[in-house]
Structure 1
């Protein structure tokens, strides 16, 4: 949640992100009631609802008391009658939360807009699914909702594997923009699910980030500013530099290089979608409730973890097996947290009774512990390119999941 903190005179306001654990139905209807005037709702015990968001008038009052100049709106939103909304789809560790925080900070403190930002993620943090939401409005229009962004103008996908899930592109407006991280020439078939009039923008965020010693979020922020010119790129870059100047000053220059490359080195594709109008909103329905759940909260489906797909947890690297070097010692199997290594019977009369056949990348998170522990170098770290995992994959459950 976007929080504006009052600071000492002459110092810039700082923005902090707070995980939004609240997902009740009351939030979803707030935006539709804006024309009826202020909406009130009870605050949670120990919480301060006024601190969740600050509009331009509140910030200007704070700045006036500290002797600062008032904020003035310096940009015009593309749709002045409604909010401009962006949704970041990512996995933990790629910087989606920080990207949303930086974008909202730049919009509020440098462009004079009203803005809100919050993220949703699981307890695993790194490697788990992350959604970050940014909602922007004109200075004279307060933000009275903290509901998730369901009908975004833009969607930024940090990991290409997330495109396999229909929920990633759900709700995109017919004139919206999808920005996704992918190497040159990578045009997944899932893009056909986009609206006909939507744009798809590909940028090699991971490749650029590796070369510039930065992170994918800096690259994607640059591409986002290029895709939506009303977002002043210099303001966003200043906010990005300010965000990391205190904690990681050595990363400021690298982030700037990555940002500027992201703003220029991208590919725009139009007309790749086949859908008509806005994409439908995806809302998860509860399968079990307190009246219908099994007694004791048990899961009456043994072996259901076989259907899990952990491939989205990889961040650009995977282990590749060279069987000619493998001595089938099993050390890699001892350290693998997800049991994704596939073993089979050795050759008749051969040296080994059981042999390592390969890796089922469906269950591989790319932690590379097997590579670190391999005594012969049979398992090596390799950059993941489109189709590599599918080509090298050895199914762990061939009769169940091919």
Structure 2
């Protein structure tokens, strides 16, 4: 396979070692991806390596970070702290740019690998990146077609631009991992990896004079043991209505066709986040009835339980496109109380 001039330039700068931070949400396989990278580096390539992950409650949609350090055999790894100034950042879900500072600490000549259908220039603006290399791969599209997950496609893209990684060794680890647990998915994940490796778009943005990396700032919770109010008092009642759950969606959302809707309410009963907006109206018999008006996608985390229980074709699974949720959302009329 011919390697473009952009990839050759990246390879020269990052050939000695790699500190990789994977930004994701639960359910996309970033934790497993980090483990497979570290295993390939240490057991297959003879490198020194370290891997760890941080995440909250173990459920789909919650933020996940996975860290991988790889160095040549003669360079010891003495730290086990989270990677705050990475050489490479892999973003498994582009909606994370709305809620997380994914590029915090990324070096000025660093590499940003993003699961997206957008161009590197668009991702550069969306992420706030000033300088470095942006690598785009439609990992979600690949995984949907191959019936796998995003993680192996992202591993392929990472192997394409991080020269310390040997794609053949990583491919062997993927094969062994899935052969033992899910043998029926082995070849599909190998194809996903190969397509992620091949189907990348790369653009380099040279650093300007005096350019410094965006500093890494550790987030501080408003309700931590040092920052919470006395007695744990919540003085902003109803603050959950301000939450935006879009970063929890794994690339899909329910699409509503009101022409097919019979307003049965099954969707509302299974929805865990009160996404459906209803309004009382009179039916053809003059009786007051609750009619579905639409979906408030601000609260939708893409669980698709509503699609499963819909007795008609009113609700269907749709791959999320940029601005679709904003343009088709029907907002709740919640009162917001600020204490």
Q: TM (normalized to structure 2)?
A: 0.87
Q: 1:381 aligns with which of 309, 314, 317?
A: 317
Matched residue of 1:115: which SS? strand
Matched residue of 1:127: which SS? coil
Q: Counterpart in 2 of 1:337? A: 272
| 1:218 and 2:152 aligned | yes
| 1:153 and 2:52 aligned | no
Q: 2:138 aligns with which of 204, 213, 218?
A: 204
Q: Counterpart in 1 of 2:104? A: 170
Q: Which 10-residue stretch deviates more, 278-287 or 171-180? A: 278-287
Matched residue of 1:300: which SS? coil
**8 Å CA contact retained: 1:318, 1:366:** yes
- CA positional deviation for 1:292: 5.8
User: Are the structure 2 counterparts of residues 262 and 163 from structure 1 closer, same or farther at C-alpha, using a change threshold of 3 Å?
Assistant: same
Q: Counterpart in 2 of 1:235? A: 169
- CA positional deviation for 1:264: 0.9
Q: 1:280 aligns with which of 215, 219, 222?
A: 215
Q: 1:319 aligns with which of 254, 264, 287?
A: 254
Q: Counterpart in 1 of 2:292? A: 356
Unaligned runs of 5+ in 1: 1-74
| 1:369 and 2:309 aligned | no
Task: Provide the aligned length of Structure 1 versus Structure 2.
Answer: 324
- CA positional deviation for 1:306: 1.0
User: Are the structure 2 counterparts of residues 76 and 267 from structure 1 closer, same or farther at C-alpha, using a change threshold of 3 Å?
Assistant: closer
Higher RCO (CA-CA < 8 Å; seq separation 6+):
2
| 1:310 and 2:227 aligned | no
For residues 32-71 of structure 1, the C-alpha deviation after alignment (integer angstroms, 9 at most, x for no partner) is xxxxxxxxxxxxxxxxxxxxxxxxxxxxxxxxxxxxxxxx
**8 Å CA contact retained: 1:192, 1:273:** no
Q: TM (normalized to structure 1)?
A: 0.74
Matched residue of 2:169: which SS? helix
Unaligned runs of 5+ in 2: 1-10
Matched residue of 2:253: which SS? strand
Q: Counterpart in 1 of 2:7? A: none
1:57-136 to structure 2, matched below 5 A, reads 78=14, 80=16, 84-136=18-70
Higher Cα Rg, which structure: 1
User: Are the structure 2 counterparts of residues 137 and 180 from structure 1 closer, same or farther at C-alpha, using a change threshold of 3 Å?
Assistant: same
CA distance in structure 1 between the partners assigned to 2:59 and 2:78 by the alignment: 28
CA distance in structure 2 between the partners assigned to 1:358 and 1:236 by the alignment: 45
CA distance in structure 1 between the partners assigned to 2:78 and 2:144 by the alignment: 40
- CA positional deviation for 1:77: 9.0
**8 Å CA contact retained: 1:84, 1:153:** yes
For residues 142-181 of structure 1, the C-alpha deviation after alignment (integer angstroms, 9 at most, x for no partner) is 3222111111111111111012235211111100011111
